[in-house]
């Protein structure tokens, strides 16, 4: 298949390496021309995925229109805040007379103005194009190295999903399908929120019991939020929910977990350093966004509310722990 990856962060680069390993035609299109030229000459993404070299078969594109010509699968792998601008460029470059079989979102976040999910933005910008989301526990470095992993492809067109499933799946990456697009995207975004909380547990030195308890209760809250927003409960027990949460909450590589750890140790320093990071910490904005949603829709989400207050600087991390531990007693569930 002809595959195009739009966005050359760590995950987009890792996906291009995997697809080339699968024998597909691959074009990786970075957002910046200088980044594209650097990757093309060095065959390495030194900014976001150093140490992993791109096979010579992978083309590095400078412009969207030529890259999108005759594309079967388009993977959108940019930070959520960059998606609206990218979609404007895609809509002006895509040949609607020869549309792709599927556009897959690898984004895990919400739009900052409308709070809409990535697939909603894509469908609005590219009417008539089939859209899906790819999510799951996928550390980019591990995927690039060819270590085993599994993902879920969620969408509404079963035939298109099965074609993409067959194209993506191989000896090192197994894809499952789902028709719960809402739940898959919400789970993939919320796990960043609770991974920040897991990092707070680490930074405060609360121990294994506390972290396990926190993640278990966070998962219950994730299900409650997700179902209220239109997802199915079982989706959050799958790869895009529990799977991605476990990996992101425990991985030493996790930006979201790491940021939570930094906040616990030095809030002012962590917040100041956030603006200078090359890689986006999606959980920070997602926490604020979902806290607004929960408040507006009157969804019970005490952990989310506590994390939002901590990240805003309105609540000390240890005071947040005390607040959660002294809530009214209740039955589990």
CATH number where 190 lies: 1.10.1040.10
Same domain flag for 292 and 168: no
Same domain flag for 19 and 165: yes
User: Quick check: is 191 catalytic?
Assistant: yes
Total domain count for the chain? 2
- Among the listed residues 101, 108, 130, 191, the single catalytic one is 191
Same domain flag for 224 and 157: no
| Closest alpha carbon to 155 in 126, 181, 130 | 181
- CA–CA separation, 61 vs 39, rounded Å? 10
pLDDT number for residue 312: 97
Q: Does some domain include residue 208?
A: yes
Same domain flag for 233 and 321: yes
Question: Where is the domain boundary, 136, 154, 179?
Answer: 179
Q: Does some domain include residue 330?
A: no
Same domain flag for 199 and 158: no
Q: Does some domain include residue 333?
A: no
CATH number where 87 lies: 3.40.50.720
Max CA-CA distance within the chain? 61
- Measuring CA to CA, how many Å separate 110 from each of 36, 41, 88? 27, 34, 17
- 221-277 pLDDT per residue, tens: 999 999 999 999 999 999 999 999 999 999 999 999 999 999 999 999 999 999 888
pLDDT number for residue 279: 86
Q: Does some domain include residue 331?
A: no
Domain assignment of residue 283, given as a range = 185-325
Q: Does some domain include residue 110?
A: yes
pTM over 0.85: yes
Instruction: Count the Cβ atoms, other than its own, within 10 Å of residue 155.
Output: 24
Same domain flag for 194 and 164: no
Question: Where is the domain boundary, 179, 207, 223?
Answer: 179
| Closest alpha carbon to 143 in 278, 1, 16 | 16
Contacts 24+ apart (CB under 8 A), 81-84: 81/109, 81/112, 81/280, 81/285, 82/7, 82/31, 83/107, 83/111, 83/118, 83/121, 83/122, 84/111, 84/121
* Mean pLDDT for the stretch of residues 320-333: 95
Same domain flag for 78 and 169: yes
Percent share of the chain, pLDDT over 70: 100
Q: Does some domain include residue 255?
A: yes
- 285-298 pLDDT per residue, tens: 999 999 999 999 99
- 223-237 pLDDT per residue, tens: 999 999 999 999 999
Same domain flag for 105 and 217: no
Instruction: Please classify residue 38 by burial: count the beta carbons closer than 10 Å to its beta carbon, then call 0-12 exposed, 13-18 middle and 19+ buried.
Output: middle
Kindly state the tokens that stand for 180: 């719960």
Give the dihedral of Cα atoms 321, 324, 327, 329; nearest 10 deg.
Answer: -110
């Amino acid at each position: 298949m002809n595959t195009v990856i739009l966005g050359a962060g760590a995950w987009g680069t890792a996906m291009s390496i995997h697809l080339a390993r699968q024998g597909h035609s691959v074009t990786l299109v970075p957002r910046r021309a200088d980044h594209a030229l650097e990757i093309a000459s060095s065959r390495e993404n030194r900014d976001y995925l150093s140490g992993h070299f791109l096979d010579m078969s992978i083309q590095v594109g400078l412009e969207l229109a030529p890259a999108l010509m005759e594309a079967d699968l388009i993977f959108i792998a940019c930070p959520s805040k960059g998606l609206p601008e990218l979609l404007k460029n895609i809509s002006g470059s895509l040949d609607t007379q020869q549309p792709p079989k599927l556009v897959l979102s690898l984004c895990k976040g919400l739009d900052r103005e409308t709070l809409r999910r990535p697939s909603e933005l894509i469908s609005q910008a590219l009417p008539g194009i089939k859209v899906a989301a790819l999510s799951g526990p996928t550390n980019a470095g591990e995927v690039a190295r060819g270590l085993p992993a599994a993902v879920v492809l969620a969408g509404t067109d079963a035939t298109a999903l099965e074609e993409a499933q067959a194209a993506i799946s191989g000896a090192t990456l197994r894809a499952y399908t789902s028709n719960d697009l809402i739940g898959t995207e919400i789970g993939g975004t919320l796990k960043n929120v609770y991974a920040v909380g897991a990092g707070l547990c680490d930074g405060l030195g609360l121990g294994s019991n506390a972290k396990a308890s926190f993640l278990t209760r966070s998962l219950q809250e994730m299900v409650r939020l997700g179902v209220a927003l239109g997802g199915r409960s079982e989706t959050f027990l799958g790869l895009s929910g529990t799977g991605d949460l476990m990996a992101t909450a425990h991985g030493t590589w996790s930006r979201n977990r790491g940021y939570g750890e930094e906040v616990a140790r030095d809030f002012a320093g962590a917040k100041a350093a956030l603006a200078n990071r090359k890689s986006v910490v999606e959980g920070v904005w997602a926490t604020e966004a979902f806290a607004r949603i929960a408040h507006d829709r009157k969804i019970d989400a005490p952990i989310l509310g506590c994390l939002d207050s901590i990240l805003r600087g309105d609540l000390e991390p240890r005071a947040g722990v005390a607040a959660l531990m002294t809530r009214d007693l209740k039955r589990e569930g």
